[in-house]
Amino acid sequence: MVDLTEPSLDACVAAIRDAGAGGAVVAYSMGGRIALHAAVRHPGAFRALVLVGATPGIEDPALRRSRRAADEDLAHWMAGERIDAIVDFWESQPVFASQDAELRSTQRPGRLGHDPGRLAAILRATGQGTLPPLWDRLHEIAVPVLAVAGEDDAKYAEVAERMAASLPRGRAALIHDAGHAPQLEQPELFGDLLLEFLDEHLG
């Protein structure tokens, strides 16, 4: 597990690069976006990459500007808010609707352990509106990449399949009866898939 504590893209990329050096990186959501930047910046640093609920970015400049403005508003609110209010807001997002009350309860203590100011800074540095999209650079990533999404997460399922088609050694896998966080919602299915992929490519 990598703790992205430094609020800059360079620091986050370096942390993931160092953690996965010579092996595999398994990254979810924002971490997946940063892992893609690490793979492009540092070819050969990893032997394999697993992306879960991740995207190479927003291609349309107008949509990216709109997202950046929305993220800045959110970051401003987060920086001055209590962590419990931030977690309440986060858990209410439609993308997490597939997570039942028991799963949210299990995850909540970890979410409450974050610092609001640091969360705001990381969002400003690595949000989808801030990072340049990497769709046109996916062909540079030569290592095997497994793009995973929940079958019920239509947006990211489509992204996973498109990424797999754009990567030289890409493969998409959709996990049945799961939404945006299949590693949490279907841990056994995800675990089997992950072990199979890592065994194939790392031995």
Q: Which residue has the tokens 């493969």?
A: 171
Determine the pLDDT at residue 53: 96
Does residue 2 fall inside a structural domain? no
Is residue 118 located within the same domain as residue 164? Answer: no
Is residue 75 located within the same domain as residue 31? Answer: no
Separation CA 109–CA 105 (nearest Å): 8
Element (DSSP H or E) covering residue 172: strand 170-175
Determine the pLDDT at residue 117: 94
What's this model's pTM, rounded to 2 decimal places?
Answer: 0.92
Determine the pLDDT at residue 99: 87
Low-confidence ranges of the chain (pLDDT < 50): none
Is residue 22 located within the same domain as residue 68? Answer: no
Separation CA 76–CA 93 (nearest Å): 18
Separation CA 21–CA 36 (nearest Å): 14
Is residue 117 located within the same domain as residue 79? Answer: yes
Determine the pLDDT at residue 55: 97
Range of the domain at 94: 61-126
State the total domains in the chain.
Answer: 2
Is residue 153 located within the same domain as residue 163? Answer: yes
Q: Which residue has the tokens 């990381």?
A: 122
